[in-house]
Amino acid sequence: MSVVLVTGASRGIGRAIVERFSREGAQVIACARGQAGLDALKTALPQVETHACDVSDDAAVDALAQGVLARHGAVDLLINNAGAFQPGAISEEDDDALLAMLQANLFGAYRLTKRLLPAMVQRRSGMVLNVCSTASIAAYPNGGSYSIAKHALYGFSRNLREEMKPHGVRVVALLPGATRTDSWAGVPLPEHRLMPAEDVAEAAWLAWSLSARSVVEDIVLRPQLGDISDKDFA
């Protein structure tokens, strides 16, 4: 049974990923900041192991990694999905916006990955899947520090992939566009302009289900009609 650790797992894309891998019989470890969301997840999927963890808290990340390694020995698949979205123009946003976005979208994933990698390397198997964004590869108005942080997460993924090739550890960057999650709550867009989170979860599953001899390095998903633009609100 594969051991899969998913961060940001209580809602949206993370919740859909937990549900998808659970259906396949994986031992899923779900972590998120809010206990209420984890409790709801546990009620729906009692077999899932849940842990409250704010990935922007270094001590909490270290404790999570230590606990998981103590119980399971190693993680077969780490899915770094936790993050935060804060729109804003670089010229106008607060000075601390960049650090906040890096802490939420990059530093936690970087730290947790470093803690779990040695066991993967020792086994010469495993996968790290980082949930990036189309904002990781394209600039857009009002992207601000969020887009900078997502670019950095994609850069981390690409560099880690090169390092891990000789060790049998696969590294995947999953870059979804506009997806129906809480980030889009209240935005007046028709249903068809946003992808379902279940489609992003399916892409994660397909990347994992390949043999160890193959890796889908980058997965870019967008709504069928393309990225959201000003004309969608006209």
Long-range CB pairs of 197-201, under 8 A, 24+ apart, other chains included: 197/12, 197/13, 197/15, 197/16, 198/16, 198/19, 198/20, 200/13, 200/16, 200/17, 200/131, 200/174, 200/176, 201/13, 201/16, 201/17, 201/19, 201/20
**Whole-angstrom Cα distance, residue 55 to residue 164?**
23
What is the pLDDT, as a whole number, of residue 141? 83
Active site residues: 146
Say if CB 87 and CB 146 are below 8 A apart: yes
| DSSP line for 89-117 | -TTTS-TTHHHHHHIIIIIHHHHHHHHHH
The alpha carbon torsion through 109, 115, 117, 121 (nearest 10 deg) reads 170
What is the C-alpha to C-alpha distance for residues 118 and 215, in angstroms, rounded to an integer? 20
**233 located within any domain:** no
Residue of 104, 189, 211 whose CA lies nearest to 150: 104
Give the Å distances, CA to CA, from 202 to 19, 79, 119, 146: 10, 13, 26, 25
Is residue 182 assigned to a domain? yes
- The pTM of this model reads 0.95
Is the pLDDT score of 140 beyond 90? no
pLDDT on residue 218: 98
Average pLDDT over all residues of the chain: 95
For residue 123, the 8-state DSSP code is H
Give the domain CATH number at 96.
Answer: 3.40.50.720
Distance between CA atoms of residues 234 and 229, nearest Å: 9
pLDDT number for residue 230:
78
Structural domain count of the chain: 1
Tell whether the model's pLDDT for residue 48 goes beyond 90: yes
Per-residue pLDDT at 142: 84
Say what percent of the chain tops pLDDT 70: 100
Provide the b/e sequence for 35-65 (b: ≥16 CB within 10 Å).
eebbeebbeebeebbbbbbbbbeeebbeebb
Segments forming the whole domain that contains residue 144: 3-227
Residue 234 counted as domain residue:
no
Mean pLDDT of 176-194: 84
Confidence of residue 31 (pLDDT cuts 50, 70, 90): very high
Residue 215 φ/ψ, nearest 5 degrees = -140, 135
- 232 in any annotated domain: no
